[in-house]
A and B are shown apart, each in its own frame.
Chain A
Amino acid sequence: MSRYIARRLLLALVTIWLASLGVFLAVQALPGDVTTQILGQNATRANVAALRAELGLDESPWRRYLDWMSGMLHGDFGSSLVNHASVGAEVGLRLRNTLLLAGVTVVLGVSLALVLGVVAGLYRDRWPDLAISSLSLVGMSMPEFVIATVLVLLFSIDIPLFPAVVTAGPDARIGDLLPAIWLPSIALTVVMAAYIIRMLRTSVIDVMASEFVTTARLKGISPARVVLRHALPSALLPTLNVIAMNIAWLVGGVVVVESVFNYPGVGLLTIDAVHNRDLPVIQTIAVLGAATYVLCNLAADLAAMALNPRLRTNRRTA
């Protein structure tokens, strides 16, 4: 077990490094550099040269990449090419905001999806299932910016219940961000829940038809206990990875939803950093994103083992 985890963690490090290299190469392929992007129409030759010197961009990009890598190994993510602020602090602040949004969405969205998925599976082909399944199909097929825009129209403009955008900056107090969290969170829930519901519905149907559930029923165990204690752990197994991927997606910064609501999270920072070709920031976000995906995946696999003793035995004998 511990050897398995160690091997997965080692692979994770390689994945993360490859992600940072890939992003570095991609940014090199983009036209323009940080000076031309900041100056725009004012990017005259003299202005660009002066700003390059001021920002210390005379070194080769590879050299800067290596410096950034070695810094990162010591826990220093470097400083932004645009304003020289510490990337660690900037990304940390944005990550706090994104985690807040992701946390609310996970609690709200995942628990809602689990309940609806189980209900749909148990009431297969009856009206609760038909209602849940068709609604989740609708949610699945709408792009998130459409959902977000409709929500703003309904609940900020027509009925002014929630703010339409966040007007505070990234260093806003959590108390100031909270009122603005509900609409983005609902939009994300709609997008995310559909996948989980459909996955869970199928596996609940499979499990409820299996022999051990029939046995449990014949033994006279109450229907609620059959579902919660016997069927659900097995039904959850195939859903775990979907949930893990969704959490990783949320933590990595949801670019579209954050930009519709002007939510000062990692997603908005990503847009800004790519626009400005701000390499240290982009690379730090890439490393963060890759690490989140790898860790969420690992967590899902470990949770699957905990829920299913057969997987644990197989690993031991392998």
Chain B
Amino acid sequence: MSRRGLLTAGAGAAAGAWLLTACGSGGNADKAAATAAATGKAAAGGTLRIARPPASSAETLDPASSLSAYEYLGALYSRLVRRGSDGKPAADLATSWEMSDEAKTWTFTLRDGVTFHNGQAFTSADAAYTLTHILDPATKSPQAGVLSTFVAASGISTPDKNTLVVKLKAAHAEFPTLLMHYNCYVIAKDSAKTTATKGIGTGPFKLASFTPAGPGKVVANTDYYGGKPVLDAIAFSSIAETQSRINALLSQQVDLISQTNLDSAGVKTVQASSTATVVEVKNAQWYTLPMLCTAAPFTDSKVRQAFKLAYDPAQVIKLAVQGHGTIAHDNPVPPDDPYRLDYTVSPDPEKAKALLKKAGHDKLTLPLYTSDYDSVLTPLALAMKDSVAHAGITLNIQNAPSDSYYTKIWMQKPLMTSYWYVGRPIDQLLSEIFHSGSAYNESKWSNPTFDGLIASARKETDDAKRKQLYQDAQKLMVDQDGTIMPFFASRMIGISKKVVNYHESGFEFDYLKIGLSA
């Protein structure tokens, strides 16, 4: 989801610092290569201190809300199913699940003996309540749009306290993947009103204190069904400025800075320190340039195709993220997703020129909008400008204010830079960002064949055939859609050298193992 960046007084200074380092980093880019997190034996106990950007004083601990405080959720709550290391749903509060009635009915068997932080036993009633809470329009959950296509409150039943049955409105063979989303953490029955501040879940940590956009703390839950965490507690503080968050890390006031993808200047600063280091979370976010298919010149599919052929991803990746990324080949399905299609179209500026000529453009000049919303967006814009020049395309970079980038630029300007965090399972990814009419369809691409492939895939209960359908959909996207997608980038995390066994996916850690060295 989006990072709710702040209007920053020092944004200009940060951009200046980036230019300086970008210009000087030609030869020694690889010196900045980040390390993996330290592993080893952690000392028992201790408090991990995390600095996070303050979202807004409207933030809440209700996992279903669009204003939820991400960093707390994984510590406090559990889901029915979580994302396994193979990208497929893995057991969490549900120990097993099966479909029947041609993928129209799903039955989840729930874990026994789990209690909420307040001592109340977890039962199927809580699971059912969580789903209806997400679907409730008053909750305004971003996940409601995805779920409500398949689930209605009337279709949810609880035959006994360990069984949840969901009768779908339309067949969906990948339904459990939709429950892996962080909006789907399980809350206790009838706690919709209090969960925003109390944060009572079944997760590895219990809430000790929480202030929206301010400090907070969670402490180890010794009754957690997965075992006892190594840490005693995690303390959060909110620091608005990126540079101040880095300063807090370097002065050892915090051990980790979250939601902060360090730019190359930041990486160098942190790596120069004797107490902190940078950990590279590979393929953590994907960077795109959506071409608005409803606006000239991108209404013409030849122009879109020309843009995809015009740039050299290897060069863009080197310039924009100093090589810390993986070429995406205009396909947003992450490299580790079992359904990813291995299909590449090589860059061909000459063919791009020819296509543009056919579309009636001898020379094409366009504004490309970007902002400081994320540290990679502007470097990406500069790298693209450079790369497409060979195909006779001139991009004029327009730097827009970051605090209104998503209201005034996104989905409104024909060509802009954008990014997403990975973590959506394939069906949600394709339907949320590429399906006709979806609220997050940032290129406004609309293709009935693509929509049809997604619909057929959901109904298909044969795994191999379903995979084939999702892959056909990916090929169609690469060839025709409105998304230039150069690369998946690493997220560069600043972390204290004292932290051991750090593993992050999304905004969740391996909460049981993460600890501080003795």
Contact = CB atoms under 8 A, between A and B. Distances in A.
Interface of A: 30-32, 36-47, 50-51, 80, 82-83, 85, 145, 149, 152, 156-157, 160, 163-165, 167-171, 255-256, 259-262, 268, 271-272, 274-276
A169 B6 contact: no
Interface string B263-274: 000000000010
B9 interface: yes
A38 B66 CA distance: 9
Pairs A-B, 4 closest by C-beta atoms: A41-B2, A169-B214, A167-B237, A164-B251
B9 A255 contact: yes
Interface of B: 1-2, 4-10, 13, 49, 51, 54, 56-58, 66-67, 137-138, 140, 142, 145, 211-215, 237-241, 243-245, 247-248, 250-254, 273, 401, 403-404, 406-408, 410, 439-440
Given A165-B239, A272-B54, A44 B439 contact: yes
Given A271-B9, A276-B56, A46 B439 contact: yes
Contact of B9 (A37, A171, A259): A259
A255 to B, nearest CB: 6
Nearest to B408: A31
A42 B138 CA distance: 15
Contacts of A40: 2, 4-5, 406
Between A85, A163, A168, A276, the greatest number of chain B beta carbons within 10 A of the residue's beta carbon is seen for A276
Nearest to B439: A44
B403 A259 contact: no
B248 A165 contact: yes
A160 B237 contact: no
Contacts of A43: 406-407
B10 A145 contact: yes
Contact of A83 (B58, B238, B251): B58
30 contacts: A31-B407, A32-B403, A32-B407, A36-B404, A37-B404, A39-B67, A40-B2, A42-B142, A43-B407, A45-B439, A46-B145, A46-B439, A83-B57, A145-B13, A152-B247, A156-B250, A164-B247, A164-B248, A164-B251, A165-B244, A167-B51, A167-B239, A168-B237, A169-B238, A171-B211, A260-B241, A260-B247, A261-B244, A262-B240, A272-B213
Contact of A169 (B66, B67, B215, B252): B215
A30 B247 CA distance: 31
Nearest to B141: A47
Contacts of B212: 83
A83 B211 CA distance: 12
A31 B213 CA distance: 23
Contacts of A83: 56-58, 212
A10 to B, nearest CB: 35
Question: A interface, by DSSP: helix, strand, loop or mixed?
Answer: helix
A51 B65 CA distance: 11
A37 B403 contact: yes
A165 B241 CA distance: 10
Contact of B248 (A145, A167, A259, A274): A167
A262 B254 CA distance: 13
A32 B240 CA distance: 21
B408 A32 contact: yes
Given A268-B240, A276-B56, A42 B251 contact: no
B244 A260 contact: yes
A41 B241 CA distance: 20
Nearest to A90: B57
Between B6, B58, B138, the greatest number of chain A beta carbons within 10 A of the residue's beta carbon is seen for B58
B253 A163 contact: yes
A88 to B, nearest CB: 15
A41 B250 contact: no
Nearest to A267: B9
A202 B107 CA distance: 86
A149 B57 contact: no
A25 B253 CA distance: 41
Contacts of A85: 57
A196 B243 CA distance: 31
Nearest to A84: B58
A163 B440 CA distance: 42
A164 B244 contact: yes
A47 B406 CA distance: 14
Nearest to B139: A50
